Amino acid sequence: MIQMKTSPAARAGRMGARQIYEALRDQIMARVYGIDGWLPSSRALAGEMGVARSTVTVAYEQLAAEGFIETRHGARPRVARAVVERERTRVASRPSARKVRLSAFGERLLRDPPRWTEPPRGLVANFRYGELAPSDFPVRAWKKAVTAAMARKPERLAYDDPCGALRLRTALQGYLWRSRSVRCEVDQIIVVNGSQQGLDICARLLLDAGDRFVMEDPGYQMARHTFAATGAETMPIPVDADGLETARLDGIEARLAYVTPSHQYPLGGVLPIGRRHQLLTWARTNDAYVIEDDYDSEYRYDTKPIPPLHALAGGDNVIYLGTVSKTLSPNLRIGYLVVPAGLRTLFAAAKQIMDRHTPLIEQDALALMLESGAYDSHIRRVRRRNAERQRALLDALRRRFGDRVRIEGTAAGLHIVAWFDDLPQKREDALIKAAHAKGVGVHPVSALFVGPRRPRKTVGLVMGYSALETAQIERGCRLLAQAVAELD
């Protein structure tokens, strides 16, 4: 039901054209309908509001006359882009009437909020990391699994286990053992709404204001924001070609360390076995936890997988974090934690307080894919496709730039880092703008650093390729080369 803002008189009986016009106008101005948002058809809205279709038509004609909507014969009305953008600018520039009292958590978020920007439209190629190609999604297998999950008549409609559906956790237990050598009990697995919720639970349960946590530098900024929002202090530790420089942990006291040892984000190093043991020793000595984010371990091209930290430590001080955001879709919001047995009850309680549990139909569908082998088949297929995309990107960069570009992080994952050693970092903004003007989205490594240390003084780009087809990759690199040439 569309919520209409109306006067008491209008609510008492049928709404007139004026009331419908005012209600829709207010909702458009309040951005209930976004840019290019579709409004209901006149027939649908008339039926919903219990008025004649001609009444709605009059309201729509007035909105169109004033420039709020755009109409076309045979199509639903849509919000005029200029109206929403003008209102967004006006609201953003309007000073707040009063200072809102916030919690300490809110104040910290206000000072250091995570940034989200809507991806620009119309680019030839956007080398943005974290996006997947829609053509890679296993539509048929997922539809079959969802249909089967929905066909199962539930014993009851009620809240379920906050840890997740037993069927999915059992399937994940087998998958983690065969794919990553992670041994755990089913009760140690907590199904969460994406890896981000997993990080949030860890932050709430393991950190207090004034505590310290270790972060790779450069590293994953959403993890840093999550931990820092508790009031804890970031301890950035540099990374090199082999990942976290664990020797620098000597003398550092912290409550937890967040690491991406199988494919360091963003530089791509794989933490050697010696450093892994050194990190685990540090955690035991400091009674700290290591959060092992195994975010893209399914994609390995040139190296064999090294056993995860969880397998080496027996899980005592390691919280293992996985997700299907890089294999199926980030839209699904399904991830999982493998927690030490002693923390299982605590993590379950935190999950229950947050949102009761992750949606069950999606959990059942994923369990069915894991049980049938469809998930493993899908992984093999997209691994081949992303290996092809990576080869296309590497070939295009080398062909267009030759020795001018140095590439890191090719052994695994869905992105590489390209260093332009003849472009000083002060030209970074100019390069990004020049590339964007040509229809290419590029994203700098510099935004991922935490501390003041900048080991390289040249432009580095994190280049994701998993959302692009090979032709887009080739054209994007050609246009990027033109942008670089214009800076010379």
Task: Tell me the CATH number at 231.
Answer: 3.40.640.10
Residues 319 and 391 in one domain: no
Within the chain, what is the greatest distance between any pair of CA atoms? 76
pLDDT at residue 48, as a whole number: 86
Which span out of 52-61, 302-311, 386-395 was modeled with the highest average pLDDT? 386-395
Q: How many helices (H) and strands (E) does the chain have?
A: 17, 16
Q: Which amino acid is at 34?
A: G
Cα–Cα dist 320/347, whole Å: 13
CB atoms within 10 A of CB 471: 10
Q: Could you read off the pLDDT of 24-54 as tens digits, one per residue? A: 988 888 878 876 788 899 898 988 888 999 9
Residues 363 and 417 in one domain: no
- Percent over 70 (pLDDT), the chain: 92
Q: Could you read off the pLDDT of 45-102 as tens digits, one per residue? A: 988 888 999 999 999 999 988 888 888 888 889 888 777 566 555 555 555 566 788 9
Buried b or exposed e, range 377-388, using 16+ CB within 10 angstroms: ebbeebeebbee
Residues 444 and 346 in one domain: no
Q: Is residue 346 part of a domain?
A: yes
254 touches 286 (CB < 8 A): yes
Residues 329 and 412 in one domain: no
Residues 368 and 394 in one domain: no
- Number of structural domains in the chain: 3
Residues 164 and 296 in one domain: yes
User: How big is the CA angle at 444 (ends 438 and 445), to the nearest 5 degrees?
Assistant: 160
pLDDT at residue 13, as a whole number: 40
Range of the domain at 440: 125-135+379-487
Average pLDDT of the segment spanning 210-224: 97
Residues 369 and 395 in one domain: no
Q: Does residue 451 surpass a pLDDT of 90?
A: no
Q: Is residue 406 part of a domain?
A: yes
Average pLDDT of the segment spanning 375-388: 97
Q: Does residue 280 surpass a pLDDT of 60?
A: yes
Residues 344 and 398 in one domain: no
Buried b or exposed e, range 194-219, using 16+ CB within 10 angstroms: bbbbbbbbbbbbbbeeebbbbbbbbb
Q: What are phi and psi of 92, to 5 degrees?
A: -65, -35
Residues 143 and 130 in one domain: no
pLDDT at residue 4, as a whole number: 47
Residues 189 and 131 in one domain: no
Residues 191 and 272 in one domain: yes
Average pLDDT of the segment spanning 220-233: 97
Q: Is residue 156 part of a domain?
A: yes
- Reported as type and span, the H/E element at residue 190 is strand 189-192
Q: Is residue 112 part of a domain?
A: no
Residues 368 and 401 in one domain: no
Tokens at 280, concatenated:
């685990």
